[in-house]
Amino acid sequence: MKSNDLIPFICYGAGGHAAVVESAIIQGGEYYMVGVADDNIAQGTRLIHAEVLGGKDELAKFLNNGIFKMHVAVGNNCTRHKIIDEMKKMGFEIITIKHPSAIVEVKAEINSGCFLSTQSVVGARAKIGHGCIVNTSAVVEHDCVLGDCVHICPGAHLAGDVEVGEMTMVGTGAAVIPGITIGKNCTIGAGAVVIKDVKSNATVVGNPGRVV
């Protein structure tokens, strides 16, 4: 697809996760990143090709030039949730970015503002909330439900019928057995194996997983 056939958008966030997002769109898709906004990283800093054009005070220029689409590429769940709300109030449409190798199976539902990374899988009839990250090689199996701004980290696997509350992070390489419910604002540590339900605001580590 020629670059002039692609849909322009602005990215908010210029950290490592944003570079992964830009890499995904470079490798194929319908969007083109025209620039990056970040209040904490210097103007002119490059991700891969796109560069930081300023902070939030620069964003009105994009709206005035007819660029209404935005992706918030921030790894921290709480921060991403806050910025998505701010950008919506400014008038931006928050878009989902999908790496061309990501798999979304039949009747899965992906809401706005999500990022599906390299070789990630969203299973049949799964429901992914707004602003979620399903990171590299992560698996969200059939009939799972993710609340808003959940992060399923690289290599983490959710078996079928798992429910994860909003702003929870499931760490790298973690595994969750079928039918488990994990509450809001939880942290599931890297490599943890979750074999029983987890209440909100908990941190779980180890195999088998235990609350600490």
CA angle 179, 105, 148 (to 5 degrees): 60
29: tokens are 């898709």
Element containing residue 31 per DSSP (H, E): strand 31-37
Cα–Cα distances in Å, from 102 out to 11, 40, 117, 154, 156? Answer: 20, 30, 6, 13, 15
Starting at the edge strand found earlier in the chain, the sheet holding 121-122 runs 103-104, 121-122, 139-140, 157-158, 175-176, 193-194
Nearest CA to 128 out of 141, 115, 142, 109 is that of 109
CB 97 within 8 A of CB 85: no
Residues forming the active site: 142
Whole-angstrom distance between the N-terminal and C-terminal Cα of the chain? 50
- Alpha-carbon span 210 to 107, nearest angstrom: 34
